Every structure is written in structure tokens, then in C-alpha cells.
Amino acid sequence: MENPILSDISTQEDIRRLIDAFYTVVRQDALLGPVFAARIPDGHWPTHLDTMTRFWTAALLAQPAGYRGNPGAKHLYLPIEKEHFQRWLQLFEQTVDKMFAGENATEIKLRALKMGELFQAKISMARQGGLSIL
């Protein structure tokens, strides 16, 4: 059976489908699942998914999506290390590649990589006492 041709990420609904699929995998992951479970109670997942959809819609599609927040600050004091970021990125890229292909699909993976690198650097600085807020 031939694989269908994948379309690019072009709408907020595309991003919502991606976010829903991705976090379904994350919540089941042995490394990442417990970190998220400790931070986001079951009843709060719809809010988190909406927030992530608004974030990526604004970041990738440059559409006003009502996102307000400081994602770096939210991660600053979580019990996460380099392996958590690597696994998050691996699952994110796999989910994107399974669902989409094109310029925006490539761009969202690049932005996720850069965001992870920035978060890791700022977390490291904060742990060394050199950064109090992102």
C-alpha cells in the first residue's frame, strides 16, 4: 500500500492535530510522561493543548492566536536534563514527519530545536545562579 502524500502545516487546525498527536505520545513516554504528569493534572490537559496550539500558531504561522506567556520561565525549575530535551525533540520530529511534509514542517522542527537549545542554556545558567528569570 502506497503512503499518501503528506501536506504541509498551513492552518491552526493542522497545528492542533499535530499538538494532540504529539502530546498523546509524550504522555505515554517512559522518560517524559512522568515529568508532564507531575506538572499537568489530567483535567488541565485541554488547557495545555490549547496553549501549545496558540503558541505554535503564532510562532510558525505568524497568525494572532492569543498566545501570552513565557515558555522559558515555565521550564526553568522543572526536573529536566539534556536527555529530556533530546527525547522531546525526537518525538516531536517523528510526529511532524508522520503527519506533514513541506517548508513549514521543516521550519517547526528547526524552531523546536532552537527553542530546546535556548531553554537548556537558560536552565543551566539558572542552576549556576546566573539567571533568575527568562
Residue 134: the pLDDT is 45
Residues 6+ apart with CB under 8 A from 111: 59, 60
Residue 125: the pLDDT is 75
Q: State the pLDDT confidence band at 67, using cuts at 50, 70 and 90.
A: low
One-letter amino acid at 83 equals E
- Tell me the CATH number of domain 12-127, given options 1.10.275.10, 1.20.120.10, 3.40.50.150, 1.10.490.10: 1.10.490.10
**Domains of the chain, residue spans:** 12-127
Alpha-carbon distance of 70 to 32, in angstroms, equals: 21
- DSSP reduced 3-state for 47: helix
Residue 129: the pLDDT is 75
Cell for 42? 489530567
Give, as one character, the DSSP assignment of residue 102: S
This prediction's pTM: 0.85
pLDDT in tens, 44-58: 999 999 999 999 999
Residue 131: the pLDDT is 54
> Percent of the chain scored above 90 by pLDDT?
56
Q: State the pLDDT confidence band at 1, using cuts at 50, 70 and 90.
A: very low
Judge residue 79's burial from the number of C-beta atoms within 10 Å of its C-beta, 0-12 exposed, 13-18 middle, 19 or more buried.
exposed
Query: Across 29-43, 74-88, 100-114, which has the greatest mean pLDDT?
Result: 100-114
